[in-house]
Structure 1
Amino acid sequence: MGTGIVSVLMNLIPFHTPVLHYLSIVFFVLNVAIFALASVTSILRYTLYPEIWRVMIQDPTNSLFLATVPMGFATLIDMWVLVCVPRWGEWAASFAWALWMVDVVAAASVTLSLSFILISQRYITSLDRITALQLLPIAATIVAAGAGAEVASILPNKQHALGTLLVSFILWGMGTPLAIVVLVMYYQRLAVHKLPPRETIVSCFLPLGPLGFGGFGIVYIGKVARDLLQGSDILDPIAGQMAYVLGVFISLLMWSFGLIWLVFALATVLYSSPFPFNMGWWGFTFPLGVYAANTIELGVELNLMFFKVFGTVLSAAVLLLWALVVSRTAMGAWHGNLFFAPCLQNLTLKEDENNPESDRLRA
Structure 2
Amino acid sequence: MKNFDGLIPNFTPSWFASVMGTGILAIVSYFYSTGFPWLKGLATAVWILNMFLFGLLVVPWVLKFIWHSKKALADFREPLTGQFYATMPIACLVIAADLLIVGTDSLGPHPAIGMAKIIWIMGAVLSVLGAVVIPLLNFTNREVQLENINPAWFMPPVALIVIPVPGAKLIAYWPESWQLIMLIFNYVAWGSGFFLFIALEAICLYRFFCCPPLPGKLVPTVWINLGPIGVGTIALLNLAASSTPFLGQLVEPVLQILALFLWGFGFWWIICAICLTTYYLRNNDLPFSLAWWAFTFPLGAYTGATYLVATFLHSSFVYGYGFLCYLLLLTLWSIVLVRTLVGVKKMEFF
User: Are the equivalent residues in 2 in contact too, given 1:90–1:156 (CA < 8 A)?
Assistant: no
Give the 3 Å change call, closer, same or farther, for CA 327–219 of structure 1 in structure 2: same
Does residue 131 (structure 1) correspond to residue 150 (structure 2)? The answer is yes
Give the 3 Å change call, closer, same or farther, for CA 95–161 of structure 1 in structure 2: farther
Give the 3 Å change call, closer, same or farther, for CA 216–194 of structure 1 in structure 2: farther
Letter in 1 for 2:61: S
Aligned-pair distance for 1:20? 1.6
What do the CA deviations read for 1:193-218 (whole angstroms, capped 9, x no partner)?
25311111111111110111001101
Does residue 216 (structure 1) correspond to residue 227 (structure 2)? The answer is no
Give the 3 Å change call, closer, same or farther, for CA 198–84 of structure 1 in structure 2: closer
Give the 3 Å change call, closer, same or farther, for CA 287–89 of structure 1 in structure 2: closer
Alignment match, 1:265: 273
User: Are the equivalent residues in 1 in contact too, given 2:95–2:116 (CA < 8 A)?
Assistant: no
Letter in 1 for 2:118: A
Letter in 2 for 1:164: M
Pick one of 66, 75, 85 that aligns with 1:56.
75
Alignment match, 1:354: none
- What is the identity percentage for the equivalent residue pairs of Structure 1 and Structure 2? 24
Aligned-pair distance for 1:65? 0.8
* Counterpart-to-counterpart distance in 2, 1:265 and 1:34: 28
Pick one of 288, 303, 315 that aligns with 1:292.
303
Deviates more, 1:18-27 or 1:80-89: 80-89
Pick one of 116, 125, 134 that aligns with 2:136.
116
Alignment match, 1:31: 50
Does residue 248 (structure 1) correspond to residue 256 (structure 2)? The answer is yes
Give the 3 Å change call, closer, same or farther, for CA 14–220 of structure 1 in structure 2: farther
What do the CA deviations read for 1:76-134 (whole angstroms, capped 9, x no partner)?
111111234466344543442233222211111111111111111232x3323211111
Alignment match, 1:352: none
Question: Secondary structure of 1:207's partner?
Answer: helix
User: Are the equivalent residues in 2 in contact too, given 1:141–1:172 (CA < 8 A)?
Assistant: yes
Give the 3 Å change call, closer, same or farther, for CA 121–194 of structure 1 in structure 2: closer
User: Are the equivalent residues in 1 in contact too, given 2:80–2:148 (CA < 8 A)?
Assistant: no
User: Are the equivalent residues in 1 in contact too, given 2:99–2:115 (CA < 8 A)?
Assistant: no
* Counterpart-to-counterpart distance in 1, 2:201 and 2:44: 35
Pick one of 311, 314, 318 that aligns with 1:307.
318
What do the CA deviations read for 1:256-306 (whole angstroms, capped 9, x no partner)?
112221111111011111321111101000000001111111111111112
Give the 3 Å change call, closer, same or farther, for CA 89–146 of structure 1 in structure 2: closer
State how 1:78-227 maps to structure 2 within 5 Å: 78-85=97-104, 88-90=108-110, 92-123=112-143, 125-153=144-172, 155=173, 157-226=175-244
Letter in 2 for 1:257: F
For the pair shown, the structure with the greater C-alpha radius of gyration is 1
Alignment match, 1:361: none
User: Are the equivalent residues in 1 in contact too, given 2:44–2:103 (CA < 8 A)?
Assistant: no
User: Are the equivalent residues in 2 in contact too, given 1:139–1:209 (CA < 8 A)?
Assistant: yes
Root-mean-square deviation (CA, aligned residues, Å) is 1.8
Structure 2's unaligned 5+ residue stretches are: 1-19
* Counterpart-to-counterpart distance in 1, 2:329 and 2:184: 31
* Counterpart-to-counterpart distance in 2, 1:65 and 1:129: 14
* Counterpart-to-counterpart distance in 2, 1:242 and 1:177: 23
User: Are the equivalent residues in 2 in contact too, given 1:292–1:311 (CA < 8 A)?
Assistant: yes
* Counterpart-to-counterpart distance in 2, 1:336 and 1:97: 36
Aligned-pair distance for 1:27? 0.8
